[in-house]
């Protein structure tokens, strides 16, 4: 399984470049709307990711901005890739499309969770237990769609070029018996198995550490293979999450991540800690 271009990442890069090139050309949104005979609001919506953009519109805008042919063709190709449907779009009713789109192309994922095993590391039994216990009124059809979506998401770990994934977990993640002792034991054994992969590391912050910076928050820092794509932080909420994209916000979460890593046991000691926790559910 090889990585396919993520339309979510392409849309973000394209919108950012179109705005940068317009400003470099000394044109306002109103100028562009007038010269291309469209409303300024259309240009604004394109630059803020509120609407998609056709390759033809991109070419027209770039010609107006005086962009050299080679760069024009590169960005027109990005526009084509941005129109491809990602697998997650068929789960729009049960998934977090933008997050899944970013995650699908990330080269590095740094995940901290204070309460639950992170999605990419969840076993199928753990996923089923979370949905059954956390949403008992959900219809069977919706539950199965959510389970399928979550299992499909995990396929990025099976790619030929899988992302480097670092997990920092609070000890409470290991102690809460989601689904009962058997489900939890097999889940923790799954974490131990994942830790043998060269691209996956776990660190556990034990209760003995008491409080620490970032305690209670759960977030993912995503870095991409192309330097043109800025890092994104996704902060999880009870129902939905929020994206943090500006440099100061990303720097803040990177600083928090450093504190979390410093508070955690070493990867080797963490795996032993997880294995011991699994034994407590026998």
Last residue of a domain, one of 21, 53, 82: 82
Residues in the chain: 282
| Mean pLDDT, range 203-223, rounded to an integer | 93
Q: CATH number of the domain that 40 lies in? A: 1.10.260.40
Residue with tokens 């199928």: 124
Q: What are phi and psi of 159, to 5 degrees?
A: -65, 160
The domain in which residue 46 lies consists of 7-82
Q: Do the domain assignments include residue 2?
A: no
Tell whether the model's pLDDT for residue 3 goes beyond 70.
no
Same structural domain, 14 and 124: no
Question: CA–CA separation, 47 vs 53, rounded Å?
Answer: 9
Residue 159: Cβ-neighbour burial (10 angstroms; 0-12, 13-18, 19+): middle
Last residue of a domain, one of 59, 82, 105: 82
Label the pairing between strands 108-113 and 164-170: parallel
Separation of CA 98 from chain center:
8
**Confidence band (pLDDT; 50, 70, 90) for 50?**
confident
Tens digit of pLDDT for each residue in 225-249?
998 899 999 998 777 789 999 999 9
pLDDT value of position 2: 55
Same structural domain, 69 and 143: no
Question: CA–CA separation, 252 vs 277, rounded Å?
Answer: 32
pLDDT value of position 131: 95
Question: CA–CA separation, 39 vs 44, rounded Å?
Answer: 9
Tens digit of pLDDT for each residue in 94-129?
878 899 999 999 999 999 999 999 999 999 999 999
Same structural domain, 158 and 259: yes
pLDDT value of position 1: 54
Tell whether the model's pLDDT for residue 52 goes beyond 90.
no
Q: Residues 119, 125, 129, 135: is their CA dihedral positive or negative?
A: positive
Tens digit of pLDDT for each residue in 140-187?
999 999 999 999 999 999 999 999 999 999 999 999 999 999 999 999
């Amino acid at each position: 399984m090889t990585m396919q271009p993520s339309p979510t990442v392409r849309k973000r890069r394209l919108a950012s470049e179109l705005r940068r090139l317009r400003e470099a050309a000394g044109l306002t949104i109103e100028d562009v709307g007038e010269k291309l005979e469209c409303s300024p609001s259309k240009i604004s919506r394109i630059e803020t990711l509120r609407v998609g953009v056709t390759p033809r519109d991109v070419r027209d805008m770039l010609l107006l901005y005086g962009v050299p042919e080679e760069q024009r063709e590169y960005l027109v190709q990005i526009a084509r890739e941005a129109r491809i449907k990602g697998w997650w779009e068929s789960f729009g009713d049960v998934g977090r499309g933008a997050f899944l789109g970013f995650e699908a192309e990330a080269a590095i994922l740094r995940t901290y969770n204070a309460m639950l095993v992170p999605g990419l590391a969840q076993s199928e039994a753990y996923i089923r237990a979370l949905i059954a216990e956390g949403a008992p009124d959900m219809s069977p059809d919706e539950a199965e769609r959510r389970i399928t979506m979550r299992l499909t998401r995990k396929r990025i770990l099976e790619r030929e070029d899988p992302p480097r994934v670092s997990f920092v977990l609070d000890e409470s993640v290991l102690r809460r018996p989601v689904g009962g002792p058997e489900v939890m034991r097999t889940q923790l054994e799954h974490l131990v198995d994942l830790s043998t992969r060269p691209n996956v590391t776990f660190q556990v912050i034990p209760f003995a550490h008491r409080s620490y910076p970032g305690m209670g928050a759960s977030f993912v820092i995503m870095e991409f293979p192309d330097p043109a794509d800025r890092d994104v932080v996704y902060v999880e909420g009870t129902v939905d999450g929020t994206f943090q994209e500006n440099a100061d916000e990303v720097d803040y979460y990177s600083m928090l991540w450093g504190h979390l890593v410093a508070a955690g046991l070493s990867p080797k000691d963490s795996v032993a800690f997880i294995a011991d926790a699994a034994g407590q559910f026998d």
